[in-house]
Structure 1
Amino acid sequence: MAGIIEGPRVRLRPLTERDRDRARDILATPEVAQWWGDAEEEADGLLAAEAGFSSYAIEFDGETVGLIQSFEELEPQYRHAGIDIAVDPRWHGRGFGAEAIRVLAAHLFAQGHHRLTIDPAVANTRAVHVYEKLGFRPVGVMRSYERGPDGTWHDGLLMDLLAGELVDGLADCPA
């Protein structure tokens, strides 16, 4: 099981069943649901104990302000990890999402990963901007990558970050 990861302001704590309602509430906000889909199904997915997946509550001053997940490809010739994140819109613009990504990325690099991926919707320009500020680079557009809540297919942007490319400063990374 994943442990607690501390950042300068945020604390990443493994999600447990007691987080189900808060996770669902965050994922049900319109600003998050447009990118994540059905809140109940997504909360179930975050709480499922699948090998290679770790899900965390993003806490600030004891309050859960978001959710973050990592998944690991453990096949030696393709070893890397990926990140997904959702921040409660009430906490947008304060840098908590950027810090959570940064501390989880540093943790994953320390665990031996040399490359991280993240795959926002192309239309999620706010997220893409934050990921670029952290050092992620666009790799390519995945056409008709995911089905949106409206039932139509949407393009995704594959982005990656290599060890040594993570930007240290968080001041310019509000998320």
Structure 2
Amino acid sequence: MTLPYPARLADGDLVLRLSTPDDVATITGWLADPAVHRWWGGEPVPAAEVRRKYCGAREPAVAVYVLEFAQDPVGLVQAWQDPDARGLDAFLAAGHQGRGLGPRAARLLAVDLLARGWRGLTVDPAVDNPRAQAAWRRAGFVPTGERGLDDGYETVLMEFRGEP
């Protein structure tokens, strides 16, 4: 059973909106930056792949949101679901990291998804990425004690519990 996604979420000057093909150049630019792609696939992503993966073509399995702060696109958050699990992934553009926007956006989306019936919402930051782990904790995710592999990185499985 596929669960619903919100089309748009807002919290003051923070907005999550579904990505569109108009976002290809912006997302491609973000993923060309080593500060972003180091933890998101390991290498720049060509525009054709960005269009296919991050601009609506994978719904309903994956919904990709552009995170805007004060009307400026600053990052990406995606929610995904398959028959066995549901989760989030996110990154912020290099110039917007460290400002608390990622945890704020992730929490906004997680709370909305739970209200829509999602359960067992997880994230899997790399073991070697303590900044991401700390950001997910601030968003309300806690480590489960399980480890995994994603894009060649050993990961820490975290589940949304709602308390930062």
* Structures share fold, TM-score greater than 0.5: yes
Q: Which runs of 4+ in 1 moved over 3 A?
A: 41-44
| Displacement of 1:60 | 1.1
Q: What SS is found at the alignment partner of 1:97? A: helix
Q: What SS is found at the alignment partner of 1:20? A: helix
Alignment counterpart, residue 74 of structure 2, candidates 60, 65, 72: 65
Alignment counterpart, residue 37 of structure 2, candidates 27, 33, 37: 33
* Matching residue's letter, 1:44: R
The 2-side partners of 1:127 and 1:91 are apart by 14
Aligned to 1:132: 137
C-alpha root-mean-square deviation of aligned residues, in Å?
1.8
List alignment gaps of at least 5 residues for structure 1.
148-152, 168-175
* Matching residue's letter, 1:58: L
What fraction of aligned residue pairs are identical, expressed as a percent? 31
Aligned to 1:170: none
User: Residue 81 of structure 1 contacts residue 116 of structure 1 at CA under 8 Å; is this kept in 2?
Assistant: yes
Equivalences for residues 104-115 of structure 1 within 5 A: 104-115=109-120
User: Residue 121 of structure 2 contacts residue 160 of structure 2 at CA under 8 Å; is this kept in 1?
Assistant: yes
User: Residue 27 of structure 1 contacts residue 86 of structure 1 at CA under 8 Å; is this kept in 2?
Assistant: no
1:141 matches 2:138: no
User: Residue 81 of structure 1 contacts residue 113 of structure 1 at CA under 8 Å; is this kept in 2?
Assistant: yes
Equivalenced residue count is 154
Q: What SS is found at the alignment partner of 1:6? A: strand
| Displacement of 1:98 | 1.1
List alignment gaps of at least 5 residues for structure 2.
none
TM-score for the superposition, normalised by structure 2: 0.85
Change in Cα spacing, 1:131 to 1:66, as seen in structure 2 (3 Å) is same
Aligned to 2:28: 24
Aligned to 1:171: none
The 2-side partners of 1:13 and 1:81 are apart by 19
